[in-house]
Amino acid sequence: MKATNKSKNSISTVKVPGNSKRLSKIDQLMSLLPIGFYNPKPVVAVIRLEGVIGKAGAMKSGLTISSLNKLIEKMFKLPRLDAVCLCINSPGGSPVQSELISKRIISLAKELEVTVYSFIEDIAASGGYWLACSGDKIFANKSSIIGSIGVISSGFGFHGAIEKLGIERRVITEGKNKSVLDPFQPVKASDVKLVKDLQKNIYAHFTDTIKERRKGRITQTDDIIFNGEFWTGQKALDYGLIDGIDDLYSFIYKRYGKEVKIEYIEQQQSWFKRKFGMAQIAQEITDTALNRIEERLLTSKIDLY
């Protein structure tokens, strides 16, 4: 859904389509009453997208389409829904999960003709900014961190350490690139080339998505916007990465008035987990550090951090 671009800081220019309100059966009956007898409150849904995107580890779940899809669907099914607000606080993560979550939100918003607003809190970097671009309009605080649009692959090299310890690394593969970026072997030029090719493809897709979602609003050239740099809210506004300096509640009450009904969309925690959560955490702490390192290297070689 396209939004007007008359003023970057304007709230009044943002339009909410009237046919976006889906009425419940009770609402449909009440709407038959004479004018003045029925005046339902506008409904605004709020969902938090907070944390690393993708699998974050056993002790903390990350943002994934599998963990969020039911909440997203529930949000868009709310009766009398006027708008959806995304509260974003994420440093980035998996490019695939960033895209899947964003596409799901955009798809449902388009299908049901609901306006989506994004509100960046502390940070929306890389994949976090991808999520922010799910909104028709993006707002942030002056001190929010925004940007870091790029792709990075990071890890550690332990081959020098194991040599000093007298440890021999034994790897048997079928396929010459099966052991690419093995942290216990010296890095190879062919490994770097393979990863760089992957990064270029992901980077191109990432930047193309932002150009499409922010079409006509970005004020700077690609070499400035897409070089991995990050900025505070005011600079991001000047560059066209966001549409205004505002926070969630100030915006909602200015846009909809004090009678607005805010629906918070949250994951319900089971009674068992609330009761015995500490025991579960204690068990997870016993996992070895080496398993944690290897899991991270295997699942997150390419991220949008």
**Alpha carbon distance, N-terminus to C-terminus of the chain:** 28
What's the pLDDT band for 263 if we cut at 50, 70, 90?
Answer: very high
Q: Provide the token pair at 18.
A: 């009237």
Distance CA 5, CA 1 (A): 13
Buried-state track 279-289, b at ≥16 Cβ within 10 A, e below 16: eeeeeeeeeee
What does the pLDDT look like over 104-137, one tens digit per residue? 999 999 999 999 999 999 999 999 999 999 999 9
Burial of 100 per CB tally in 10 Å (0-12, 13-18, 19+): middle
- pLDDT above 70 for 239: yes
Of 145-149, 167-171, 232-236, where does mean pLDDT reach its minimum? 167-171
Distance CA 160, CA 138 (A): 47
Mean model confidence pLDDT for the chain: 81
Query: Could you tell me which residues are beta bridge partners of residue 46?
Result: 85, 264
What are the residues whose beta carbons fall under 8 Å from the beta carbon of 86, sequence distance 6 or more?
A: 47, 49, 105, 116, 117, 118, 119, 131, 132, 134, 135
- Give the angle subtended at the CA of 262 by the CAs of 126 and 260, to the nearest 5°: 125
Q: Which domains does the chain have, with CATH numbers?
A: 18-149+203-299 (3.90.226.10)
Spatial contact of 273 and 153, defined as CB atoms under 8 Å apart: no
